[in-house]
């Protein structure tokens, strides 16, 4: 059983956008890959994919027409300057009916940033935490300030300076921090979490996704499952998670499972039993009850509603 939601590689991204595949991607042992560019796109729809790389976009917001980010089960209109952080595990697509739209973007793989970003910072950034909103609206002043980071990264890419990659990593970190700071100020997102237990919990939780096969179904489904893996008492796990996130451990697990269930129902041809087993349920009837309690719909009703909505949009 294969997922119908494709995962696009960096090589495939370059081929799809008619760009030469950088030579460093031919070497699987490469220390990492990074690129930055400015694009002016015509009306089009990008593939609805997961990715094996990270991407940050800065949208100018001066286009005439409609531009929309389809992200997981949400449709987010991009009608003003904004910074877009898309998590690789979340299916996403940008649909643009504008005659032209101007964007900066940078993309990089995990090897490029491995070990340089603290877990608490990752939790606070939508690029790494799929539960956060991916779009941060900007004023023109904020947009112009963020342009500087992209311009500087582009300038460094063109130089032969031997330590340019360290400088680019520092600029990338600044861009990530700017996004967190702006998002917290505008949307009142949670403050940075500097707790080893909570960060370890989120690492284990996110490590299970995306679900690609019932043969590798979810194994950690309850707070006790996670506490055993972390070698701590479940009451301590529940206490610190609630303290730092405002939500219970069970609620965070539930949100992630339901979110993945919606993705699989909307974007694959798996039957409900296959989805139930992939998500770690012993019986499809248990999954049906679990899903209905969260959404007031059965899995088949949810799938039918999404199909009708898609047909209407077309």
Q: Which domains does the chain have, with CATH numbers?
A: 7-187 (2.60.120.280), 196-313 (1.10.10.60)
Distances (CA, A) of 71 to 29, 86, 139, 168, 257: 31, 8, 23, 28, 16
Per-residue model confidence as pLDDT tens for the chain (314 residues): 445 678 899 999 999 988 888 887 766 555 689 999 988 765 577 888 889 999 999 988 765 557 888 887 788 888 889 999 998 988 888 887 665 677 899 999 988 998 888 877 887 888 988 878 899 999 999 999 999 999 999 999 999 999 999 999 999 999 999 999 998 776 544 445 557 888 889 888 888 888 877 778 899 999 999 999 999 999 999 999 998 888 899 999 998 899 889 888 988 889 999 999 999 999 999 999 999 999 999 999 999 987 776 655 54
Question: By C-alpha distance, which of 88, 99, 121 is closest to 8?
Answer: 88
Contact in structure between 266 and 308 (CB atoms under 8 Å): no
Question: How many Cα atoms are found within 13 Å in the side-chain-facing hemisphere of 70?
Answer: 16
> What is the distance between the alpha carbons of residues 70 and 101, in angstroms, rounded to a whole number?
17
Q: Tokens 């993945």 belong to which residue?
A: 260
pLDDT at 244: 82
| Phi and psi torsions of 140, nearest 5° | -65, -35
pTM over 0.85: no
pLDDT at 191: 47
pLDDT at 42: 57
């Amino acid at each position: 059983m294969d997922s119908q939601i494709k995962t696009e590689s960096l090589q495939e991204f370059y081929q799809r956008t008619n760009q030469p595949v950088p030579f460093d991607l031919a070497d699987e042992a490469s220390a990492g890959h990074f690129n930055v560019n400015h694009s002016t796109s015509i009306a089009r729809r990008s593939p609805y994919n997961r990715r094996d790389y990270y991407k940050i976009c800065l949208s100018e917001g001066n286009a005439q027409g409609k531009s929309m980010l389809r992200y997981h089960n949400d449709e987010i209109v991009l009608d003003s300057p904004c910074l877009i952080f898309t998590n690789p595990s979340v299916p996403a697509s940008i649909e643009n009916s504008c005659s032209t739209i101007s964007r900066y973007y940078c993309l990089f793989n995990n090897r490029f940033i491995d070990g340089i970003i603290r877990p608490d910072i990752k939790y606070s950034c939508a690029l790494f935490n799929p539960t956060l909103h991916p779009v941060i609206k900007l004023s023109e002043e904020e947009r112009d300030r963020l342009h500087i980071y992209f311009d500087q990264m582009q300038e460094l890419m063109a130089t032969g300076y031997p330590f340019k990659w360290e400088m680019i990593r520092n600029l990338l970190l600044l861009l990530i921090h700017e996004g967190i700071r702006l998002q917290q100020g505008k949307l009142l997102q949670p403050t940075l979490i500097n707790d080893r237990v909570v960060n370890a919990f989120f690492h284990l939780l996110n490590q299970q996704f995306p679900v690609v096969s019932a043969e590798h179904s979810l194994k950690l489904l309850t707070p006790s499952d996670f506490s055993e893996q972390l070698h701590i008492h479940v009451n301590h796990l529940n206490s610190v998670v609630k303290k730092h996130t405002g939500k219970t451990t069970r609620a965070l697990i539930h949100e992630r499972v339901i979110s993945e269930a919606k993705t699989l129902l909307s974007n694959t041809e798996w039957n409900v039993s296959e989805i139930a087993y992939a998500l770690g349920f012993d019986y499809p009837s248990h999954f049906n009850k679990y899903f209905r309690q969260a959404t007031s719909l059965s899995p088949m009703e949810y799938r039918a509603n999404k199909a009708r909505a898609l047909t209407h949009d077309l």
